[in-house]
Amino acid sequence: MRSSTGGFPFLYGILHKAMMTRALLILSILVLTVGPVLAQGDPATIFAVVTKVPRDRSQIPARVLAGGQVADSMLIASDEILGNPVWRTLEMCHSLKAEAWKTPGGYRLASVKVVDSSMLPMELQGVAGDCLIRKALDIAPLAD
């Protein structure tokens, strides 16, 4: 029986091994690039009240309600969100509704909306009210 390599059966083994190596390399590259995206899954809806606005707006400290728990956390903005004019004018006490993924450093934002504090869940309305009172007391001496 003749092999497809023209009578050289040992070449068939070498070519087969080279093709399998290439296929494995391509598959591993796909797993490395697609794996983290699939692992993130769908973003969760969170609500937040901005507690401080630093100069670098890529990471904003906030009180965040996610999964029924309120905690201090960082909101990590993507490049698309950083370019948004509303995000650039973000102030302390602004109330946000966002779609985000939980990461070890905080919440990576997929989308964000500024909402009225009355649209926040009850767990965060007190936080927003206290923040607005503190902000008013800080600004009041400047009005004189």
CA-based radius of gyration for the chain = 26
Residue 34, pLDDT > 50, answer no
Place of tokens 């091994």: 17
Token representation of residue 63 = 């009180």
Q: What is the mean pLDDT of the chain?
A: 80
Encode pLDDT of 86-124 as tens digits.
888 898 999 999 999 999 999 999 999 999 988 999 999
pTM of the model: 0.68
Residue 65, pLDDT > 90, answer yes
